[in-house]
């Protein structure tokens, strides 16, 4: 993405939520329950993160946050639904990395990830693990690369679904080592890991909390982590960069978006709750248990971050020629 296109993208993100449709004078948001839409099935990372934040919003604002899981199409179904809702702050979107991937991966989506949404708060990021079946003949990332290069077109890998950061991590690996590995999408992290543990696929990218039980049971092995630095939860596990892949840093993110014309005062209210939540020791501890890094930032930061993520994943999709349809 050239500098001018990226600037236009960022301007779109920043200006979308400056269009204010104020509540009636004398009312204080919120005056009724809030719906949180999650684009994945219950039990996954987005669902867990969303429910954690929903509880914080409920406690802080005194109105119930009702979680609705609208799973399917790599979060596209949920995103399209939220984009069409009233911009009044009573429908919020618990979003993740797919929001910055789908615009490049799909030939057509029925919403604009920039123009149709206003950033509220990004509150956590989380890396993935490169995992292999116990029988896989590699103990390190470097050994994995050697095996893949000796077996071009023969290895396959699972992810939690098309458009996930796990899927694109695999495509990025494909581009970097050029071995023609095949993506096998599953419907969620748990089925993806089950496929790996049973030997249906050779390797997988998946998140720490989902993978840890199988790692502890010896049913899968971790070779590397996609973060820029080692995880405190797995201090002996090298990063992908340490394993010989310069620049291989990927992560999923968790944040709140609302329909584009949502009033700024509503956005500020929700952002304040998110920031204060992340500053709580017990909330940070819960994130740490999931292998996630906390973020307590402004809507402006989220807008800039989202713009950079859209640009970064666009390059991965372009270089890998990955398509979802």
230-244 exposure pattern, b = at least 16 Cβ within 10 A, e = fewer: bbeebeebbbbbbbb
* Number of domains present in the structure of the chain: 2
Range of the structural domain that residue 163 is part of: 128-225
Same domain, 170 and 80: no
d(CA 106, CA 20): 31
Domain boundary among 188, 209, 225: 225
Please enumerate in sequence order all residues whose Cβ is within 8 A of that of 286, keeping only pairs 6 or more positions apart, or say none. Answer: 52
Q: Is 233 inside a domain boundary?
A: no
* 297 pLDDT more than 80: yes
Of 79, 81, 51, 78, the closest CA to residue 66 belongs to 51
Find how far residue 260's CA is from the centre of its chain.
20
With cut-offs at 50, 70 and 90, classify the pLDDT of residue 25. low
d(CA 57, CA 45): 18
CATH number of the structural domain spanning residue 132: 3.40.190.10
Residue 323: how many other CB atoms lie within 10 Å: 11
The angle subtended at Cα 29 by Cα 26 and Cα 33, nearest 5°, is 130
Same domain, 115 and 259: yes
E-assigned strand segments in the chain: 34-38, 65-69, 91-96, 117-126, 128-132, 156-159, 182-185, 203-207, 221-225, 252-259, 293-294
d(CA 19, CA 16): 6
Same domain, 22 and 37: yes
Q: Any idea of the CA torsion for 220, 221, 226, 232, to the nearest 10 degrees?
A: 110
Same domain, 196 and 219: yes
Q: Is 63 inside a domain boundary?
A: yes
Q: Is 31 inside a domain boundary?
A: yes
With cut-offs at 50, 70 and 90, classify the pLDDT of residue 18. very low
pLDDT tens-place string over residues 174-226: 999 998 999 999 988 889 999 999 999 999 999 898 898 999 999 999 999 99
Same domain, 284 and 256: yes
With cut-offs at 50, 70 and 90, classify the pLDDT of residue 42. confident
Same domain, 95 and 135: no
Average pLDDT over residues 238-248: 97
CATH number of the structural domain spanning residue 26: 3.40.190.150
d(CA 175, CA 144): 15
């Amino acid at each position: 993405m050239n500098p001018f296109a990226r600037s236009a993208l960022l301007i779109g993100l920043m200006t979308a939520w400056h269009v204010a449709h104020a509540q009636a004078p004398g009312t204080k948001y919120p005056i009724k329950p809030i719906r949180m839409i999650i684009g994945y099935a219950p039990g996954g990372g987005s669902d867990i993160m969303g429910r954690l934040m929903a509880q914080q919003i409920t406690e802080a604002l005194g109105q119930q946050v009702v979680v609705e899981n609208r799973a399917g199409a790599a979060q596209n179904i949920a995103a399209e639904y939220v984009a069409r809702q009233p911009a009044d702050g009573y429908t919020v979107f618990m979003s993740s990395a797919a929001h910055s991937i789908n615009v490049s991966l799909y030939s057509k989506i029925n919403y604009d990830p920039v123009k149709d949404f206003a950033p509220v708060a990004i509150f956590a990021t989380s890396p993935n693990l490169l995992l292999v079946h116990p029988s896989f003949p590699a103990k390190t990332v470097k050994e994995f690369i050697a095996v893949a290069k000796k077996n071009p077109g023969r290895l396959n890998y699972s992810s939690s679904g098309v458009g996930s950061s796990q899927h694109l991590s695999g495509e990025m690996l494909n581009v970097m080592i050029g071995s023609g590995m095949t993506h096998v999408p599953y419907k969620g992290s748990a089925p993806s890991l089950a496929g790996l543990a049973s030997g249906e696929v050779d390797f997988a990218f998946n998140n720490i909390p989902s993978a840890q039980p199988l790692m502890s049971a010896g049913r899968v092995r971790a070779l590397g982590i996609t973060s820029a630095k080692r995880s405190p939860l797995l201090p002996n596990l090298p990063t992908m960069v340490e394993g010989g892949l310069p620049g291989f840093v990927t992560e999923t993110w968790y944040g709140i978006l609302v329909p584009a014309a949502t009033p700024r005062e509503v956005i500020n209210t929700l952002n304040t709750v998110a920031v204060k939540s992340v500053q709580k020791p017990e909330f940070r501890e819960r994130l740490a248990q999931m292998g996630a890094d906390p973020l307590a930032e402004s809507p402006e930061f989220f807008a800039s971050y989202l713009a950079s993520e859209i640009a970064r994943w666009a390059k991965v999709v372009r270089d890998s020629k990955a398509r979802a349809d």
